[in-house]
Amino acid sequence: MNYQLPFIIFDPECPLCVRFKQAIERLAFDIEIKFYPIDDKGLLKEFSFLKEEEINSEVHLVLENNRAIKGADVISYLASHNNSVKKYAWLLETNVGKKASEAFYHSVNRLRESLHNHCPKCKNRA
């Protein structure tokens, strides 16, 4: 498969991940972000630097030059490419901004993990 960069890997079975994807798709960025499902086995073959256990545990944004950013750094990257937020993106670069962004991301990721652990669909997936 021909994957277009940059792209976010998302879990189509996770309601929170689907909502995150839908929210990102509604925003205007100065770059085009593609989305590929986490269960696309071609991703791991094409991008050997990706590790299945890592992409299952937190959001990944794959960029040019075999580079991926993950977690709270994805939020910062997206903010720096959104014209409405770009003028305030410098706030994310301060120590307080980084800590706030990381705290927000980790809270949402804990919620995602909790949903995943209690979801019969997710538990029964191989």
Could you read off the pLDDT of 76-94 as tens digits, one per residue? 888 888 877 766 667 667 7
Q: Which residue do the tokens 């770059």 mark?
A: 31
**102 within domain boundaries:** yes
**Cα 114 from Cα 111, distance rounded (Å):** 5
Residues 4-40: tens digit of each pLDDT: 999 999 989 888 889 889 988 998 899 999 999 999 9
Tell me, what's the pLDDT at 61?
96
Q: Which residue do the tokens 């490419």 mark?
A: 81
How many structural domains compose the chain?
1
**124: CB partners within 8 A, 6+ apart:** none
Query: Per-residue pLDDT averaged across 113-123, rounded?
Result: 61
**30 within domain boundaries:** yes
Other C-beta atoms closer than 10 Å to the C-beta of 50 total 17
**1 within domain boundaries:** no
Tell me, what's the pLDDT at 124?
46
The DSSP string of 57-106 is HS-EEEETTTEEEETHHHHHHHHHT-HHHHTTTHHHHSHHHHHHHHHHHH
Domain that holds residue 102: 7-123
DSSP-assigned beta bridge partners for residue 67: 63
**75 within domain boundaries:** yes
DSSP 38: T
On the CB side of 72, CA atoms within 13 Å amount to: 15
**18 within domain boundaries:** yes
The continuous run of DSSP H or E covering 113 comes out as helix 95-118
**2 within domain boundaries:** no
Other C-beta atoms closer than 10 Å to the C-beta of 44 total 13
